[in-house]
Chains A and B, each alone.
Chain A
Amino acid sequence: MKKVLVCLLILGFIPMIFSGCWNYKEVTQLSLLAGIAIDYTDSGEFLLTFEVADLHEMGEKSQVKSVLVEAKGQTLFEAARNVISKSLPKLYWGHATTVIISQDVASSGRIAEVIDFLCRDAEPRLTMAFIISQTKMAREIFEAQAPASEIRSTEINEILDDAGSQSKIVSTPLIDFIKAFSAKGQSAIATALNVEEKGGEKAIVNSGTAIFKKEKLVGFINPEDTAILNFVLDNIKGGVYVVKTDPENAEKKISLELLKSKTRIKPSYAEGKLSMEILIETSVALNEIGGSVEYEGEEAIRILGQKAEAQLKSQIEDFVRKVQREYGADIFGFGQTVYKNLPQVWREMHDEWDTVFSELEVTANPIIVIKHAGLLRKPIKPGD
């Protein structure tokens, strides 16, 4: 009797257990979202462009295809859900790697809305690349050609991964952006991308950094300045630093390969005046000597290092001054440094930090150590 009952019970459980989840989705039924571009329509609604990796035609020879889908809505979430009605299965956000925001959205001060949406939902990941497009519409980035990979978002991520050997690009995953966005005494920055047209082909190019002040986009800085910014933010992981050795002869340049760099920002407070010292320690390798510069021996290398230090020092100080004057946005996180290291000073100053920042005295003290000079003992010269 008991056995029969237990059997019946087990039989009753089987349909429930083995039929699986009631809202399960097969991989083939999901549309894998690769990236998303956020624009405004003319009427001021959000226009989302989704780049979807189309797996339906995956077969022996066909590739993954990139499909662009658009949706409009008053809010981001409404727009995201409006996609469902367009004959696509529900988008799966877990693999999205890129979010591109148009200048209009970023400068209208609704960036907080965007990051709230991305963080509140469980599917989007905090490691997505956060990008501001310098094109008119953010979706133009998705319409550009992608030589390396069929999916634009993957392509963009490869560009950002190369940041390690470039130093002219700043890589801001969503989490880093939010950290800077929400931190006291720091303004956020984001990667800026642009589309360039070459011979009828549109290509995605790095266009430096987008600068935010509070929740508004206030401007862009070019890739060269971005390299300087990376020095200040301690983001240098590699790349090339070009030194002009002779101010009169622009051709005399040497290239240093950045091996390792460490930046410390030291705030000091004396007599009611706050000042910042940027200490940079960089080890480099001499990689190229151009324009028949004479360098030989240890002493010459030391002088070369000093020249590089002087150049970097003036570049950094000029750049900081430019940001202080033009944008007034504390993208270097000086305020954050003060808050962390001199909390008493911060308590007094945080209300008028904007004015304090724009008048802040900043000095840079880079130390450049040339570790080696490649394979050549001295520059190759023509033998008459």
Chain B
Amino acid sequence: MTKEVISNKQAIVLLSGFIIGSTSILGVGTNTKQDVWITLLLAMALAAVIYFVYARIIALYPGMNIYEILDVLFGKVLGKIISLCFIGYAFYLQSLILRNFAEFIRAISLSETPMCVIAFCGMLLSFYAIREGLEVFARWAAMFFPIMVFFVLLTTSLTLPWSDLNNFKPILFNGFKPVFEGALSAFAFPFAEAVLFIPTMGSLQQKGNPYKVYYTSLLIGGTLVMLVSLRSLLVLGPEIASLQYYSSYAAVQIINLGNFLQRIEVSVSIVFLISGLMKSSMCLYASVKGISHLLSYKMDYKTLALPVNLLCGLLALFVYKNAMQMFEWAEVYYKYFAFPFQVALPIITLIVAEFKVRARTQNGNQASSEE
């Protein structure tokens, strides 16, 4: 099995798409109303801290897969258990994304189509992406990412005539606490979900720089998320933006340039399709790569992609009872659920890794000095 390699640029594109993901339609921090920009900046600052942890883990063991790193750090048994946690999280997250996808399509257009049809279509797409291999998918992403950015910029600039900067006021009317809570939510979804990008980073080229990948993507992805959220706030106003389930979709609905350029809200769906596909494929890659590792690479991850994905699609159908639960979960409970995977486990891993690396270099120095 030859090792797959992706370039710095491709990794940045994939991670930026990963960060935007389903945020492009769900919106983040809308319940902090006019302070959403503070919320997002705060979340990005928190993310910048945790991204250091993620990037450091990769930088300490260049060219190694996260699951291999875990084995090295915690030994065969404990390492496998932690790997299993990551795999479970990746698997669960992918089904959440598929569900978001299905709920959105069902809400805006195909209201009579059974959910499984929509979810399975999304599922088959990400299966195909992973089946063709990471390199192919990275190239696809590099091609489609500019299209996505173009649509975000286009729709945002077209909503400018309807934007009212007064919607920013008053700043921090309800105090700092809701903003901080919103920032924690926004940190857990979408920024810190980038923990699932660590397996992909194992395939980064030798001269690639994980810090650069993580921080550039945070900048690009964060800016795009910010644009989408601010667009909803400025066009719809704080009250309606927090009322709407799919506020960015509603915001783009307003566009009407001279009765000519209108009804372009489908561009929101395009952005969501591209970024959601990137995110769900990256999650799938994380889970199948892990399972493949658990089976000691006796089974190629590409072969695993389809059955695992099928289970994922099935889980998506009953992971929530209804759309209301989905939104409540994303806003309230998700940050607690994701905390161990996004923050606790990586930090423990990094601490252990630092000790091991220190010990290794000291041993190495001693050995060399003895010689």
Q: Which residues of A contact B (CB under 8 A)?
A: 21-23, 94, 119, 122, 125-127, 175, 178-179, 182-183, 339-341, 343, 346-347
Q: Which of A21, A22, A127, A343 contacts B173 (CB 8 A)?
A: A343
Q: How many A-B residue pairs have CB under 8 A?
A: 47
How does the 8 Å CB contact mask read for B82-116 relative to A, with 1 for contact and 0 for none? 00000000000000000000000001111111000
Q: Which of A94, A340, A343, A347 contacts B166 (CB 8 A)?
A: A340
In whole angstroms, how far apart are the Cα atoms of A119 and B253 in the complex?
12
**Residue B240 at the chain A interface, CB threshold 8 Å:** yes
Q: A122-B107, A122-B108 are in contact. Are A175 and B254 (CB under 8 A)?
A: yes
Q: Which of A23, A94, A339 contacts B113 (CB 8 A)?
A: A23
Assess the A179–B170 pair: CB atoms within 8 A.
no
**Residue B223 at the chain A interface, CB threshold 8 Å:** no
Assess the A126–B253 pair: CB atoms within 8 A.
yes
Q: Please give, as numbers and ranges, the residues of chain B lying within 8 Å of A119 by CB-CB distance.
A: 243-244
Residue in B closest to A343 when the chains form the complex, CB atoms: B170
Assess the A122–B253 pair: CB atoms within 8 A.
no
Q: Please give, as numbers and ranges, the residues of chain A lying within 8 Å of B112 by CB-CB distance.
A: 23
Kindly identify, within residues 17 to 67 of chain B, every residue whose CB is under 8 Å from any CB belonging to chain A. none
**Residue B239 at the chain A interface, CB threshold 8 Å:** yes
**Residue B250 at the chain A interface, CB threshold 8 Å:** yes
Assess the A341–B170 pair: CB atoms within 8 A.
yes
In whole angstroms, how far apart are the Cα atoms of A341 and B165 in the complex?
13
Assess the A340–B240 pair: CB atoms within 8 A.
no
In whole angstroms, how far apart are the Cα atoms of A106 and B8 in the complex?
60
Kindly identify, within residues 259 to 274 of chain B, every residue whose CB is under 8 Å from any CB belonging to chain A. 262-263
Q: A127-B256, A340-B169, A341-B169 are in contact. Are A175 and B109 (CB under 8 A)?
A: no
Q: A179-B237, A179-B240 are in contact. Are A122 and B170 (CB under 8 A)?
A: no
Q: Please give, as numbers and ranges, the residues of chain A lying within 8 Å of B108 by CB-CB distance.
A: 122
Closest Cβ of chain B: how far from A366's Cβ, in Å? Answer: 21
Kindly identify, within residues 105 to 141 of chain B, every residue whose CB is under 8 Å from any CB belonging to chain A. 107-113
In whole angstroms, how far apart are the Cα atoms of A178 and B247 in the complex?
14
Assess the A340–B254 pair: CB atoms within 8 A.
no
How does the 8 Å CB contact mask read for B140-178 relative to A, with 1 for contact and 0 for none? 000000000000000000000000001001100100000
In whole angstroms, how far apart are the Cα atoms of A86 and B112 in the complex?
22
Residue in A closest to B106 when the chains form the complex, CB atoms: A122
Q: Please give, as numbers and ranges, the residues of chain B lying within 8 Å of A122 by CB-CB distance.
A: 107-109, 111
Q: A126-B250, A340-B166, A343-B173 are in contact. Are A179 and B239 (CB under 8 A)?
A: yes
Assess the B113–A21 pair: CB atoms within 8 A.
yes
**Residue B218 at the chain A interface, CB threshold 8 Å:** no
Closest Cβ of chain B: how far from A351's Cβ, in Å? Answer: 15
In whole angstroms, how far apart are the Cα atoms of A22 and B243 in the complex?
32
Q: Please give, as numbers and ranges, the residues of chain B lying within 8 Å of A183 by CB-CB distance.
A: 237, 239
Residue in A closest to B244 when the chains form the complex, CB atoms: A119
In whole angstroms, how far apart are the Cα atoms of A339 and B168 in the complex?
12
Closest Cβ of chain B: how far from A117's Cβ, in Å? Answer: 14
Q: Please give, as numbers and ranges, the residues of chain B lying within 8 Å of A22 by CB-CB distance.
A: 113
In whole angstroms, how far apart are the Cα atoms of A127 and B111 in the complex?
22
Q: Please give, as numbers and ranges, the residues of chain B lying within 8 Å of A126 by CB-CB distance.
A: 250, 253-254
Closest Cβ of chain B: how far from A168's Cβ, in Å? Answer: 22
Residue in B closest to A121 when the chains form the complex, CB atoms: B111
Between A21, A175, A178, the greatest number of chain B beta carbons within 10 A of the residue's beta carbon is seen for A175
- How many of chain B's residues touch chain A, expressed as a range? 20 to 34
**Residue B204 at the chain A interface, CB threshold 8 Å:** no
Q: Please give, as numbers and ranges, the residues of chain A lying within 8 Å of B305 by CB-CB distance.
A: none
Kindly identify, within residues 213 to 261 of chain B, every residue whose CB is under 8 Å from any CB belonging to chain A. 236-237, 239-240, 243-244, 250, 253-254, 256
Residue in B closest to A338 when the chains form the complex, CB atoms: B170
Assess the A182–B240 pair: CB atoms within 8 A.
yes
Q: Please give, as numbers and ranges, the residues of chain A lying within 8 Å of B256 by CB-CB distance.
A: 127
In whole angstroms, how far apart are the Cα atoms of A182 and B242 in the complex?
11
Q: Please give, as numbers and ranges, the residues of chain B lying within 8 Å of A23 by CB-CB distance.
A: 110, 112-113
Closest Cβ of chain B: how far from A154's Cβ, in Å? Answer: 11
Closest Cβ of chain B: how far from A122's Cβ, in Å? Answer: 5
Q: Please give, as numbers and ranges, the residues of chain A lying within 8 Å of B169 by CB-CB distance.
A: 340-341, 343
In whole angstroms, how far apart are the Cα atoms of A346 and B254 in the complex?
30
In whole angstroms, how far apart are the Cα atoms of A340 and B240 in the complex?
17
- 15 residue pairs bridging A and B, Cβ less than 8 Å apart: A22-B113, A122-B108, A122-B109, A126-B254, A127-B254, A175-B254, A179-B236, A179-B237, A179-B240, A182-B240, A183-B237, A183-B239, A341-B169, A341-B170, A343-B169
Assess the B236–A175 pair: CB atoms within 8 A.
yes
Q: Please give, as numbers and ranges, the residues of chain B lying within 8 Å of A341 by CB-CB distance.
A: 169-170
In whole angstroms, how far apart are the Cα atoms of A179 and B236 in the complex?
7
Q: Please give, as numbers and ranges, the residues of chain A lying within 8 Å of B170 by CB-CB distance.
A: 339-341, 343, 346
Closest Cβ of chain A: how far from B145's Cβ, in Å? Answer: 28
Closest Cβ of chain A: how far from B256's Cβ, in Å? Answer: 6
Q: Please give, as numbers and ranges, the residues of chain B lying within 8 Å of A347 by CB-CB distance.
A: 173
Q: Please give, as numbers and ranges, the residues of chain A lying within 8 Å of B239 by CB-CB distance.
A: 179, 182-183
Q: Please give, as numbers and ranges, the residues of chain A lying within 8 Å of B113 by CB-CB distance.
A: 21-23
Q: Please give, as numbers and ranges, the residues of chain B lying within 8 Å of A175 by CB-CB distance.
A: 236, 240, 254
In whole angstroms, how far apart are the Cα atoms of A21 and B121 in the complex?
13
Closest Cβ of chain A: how far from B231's Cβ, in Å? Answer: 14
Residue in A closest to B108 when the chains form the complex, CB atoms: A122
Residue in B closest to A179 when the chains form the complex, CB atoms: B237
Known: A23-B113, A175-B236. 15 other contacts (CB 8 A): A21-B110, A119-B243, A119-B244, A122-B111, A126-B250, A175-B240, A175-B254, A179-B236, A179-B237, A182-B237, A339-B173, A340-B169, A341-B169, A343-B170, A343-B173
Q: Please give, as numbers and ranges, the residues of chain B lying within 8 Å of A127 by CB-CB distance.
A: 253-254, 256, 262
Closest Cβ of chain B: how far from A382's Cβ, in Å? Answer: 46
How does the 8 Å CB contact mask read for B188-206 relative to A, with 1 for contact and 0 for none? 0000000000000000000
In whole angstroms, how far apart are the Cα atoms of A130 and B60 in the complex?
62
Closest Cβ of chain B: how far from A334's Cβ, in Å? Answer: 14
In whole angstroms, how far apart are the Cα atoms of A41 and B263 in the complex?
35
Q: Please give, as numbers and ranges, the residues of chain B lying within 8 Å of A339 by CB-CB distance.
A: 170, 173
Closest Cβ of chain B: how far from A215's Cβ, in Å? Answer: 15
Q: Please give, as numbers and ranges, the residues of chain A lying within 8 Å of B254 by CB-CB distance.
A: 126-127, 175
Between A125, A339, A341, the greatest number of chain B beta carbons within 10 A of the residue's beta carbon is seen for A125
In whole angstroms, how far apart are the Cα atoms of A94 and B263 in the complex?
9
Assess the B240–A125 pair: CB atoms within 8 A.
no
Closest Cβ of chain B: how far from A80's Cβ, in Å? Answer: 14
Assess the B253–A125 pair: CB atoms within 8 A.
yes
In whole angstroms, how far apart are the Cα atoms of A238 and B61 in the complex?
67
Closest Cβ of chain A: how far from B163's Cβ, in Å? Answer: 13
Closest Cβ of chain B: how far from A310's Cβ, in Å? Answer: 29
In whole angstroms, how far apart are the Cα atoms of A125 and B108 in the complex?
12
Residue in A closest to B112 when the chains form the complex, CB atoms: A23
Residue in B closest to A95 when the chains form the complex, CB atoms: B263
Q: Which of B107, B166, B173, B240 contacts A178 (CB 8 A)?
A: B240
In whole angstroms, how far apart are the Cα atoms of A178 and B113 in the complex?
31
Q: Please give, as numbers and ranges, the residues of chain A lying within 8 Å of B111 by CB-CB distance.
A: 122
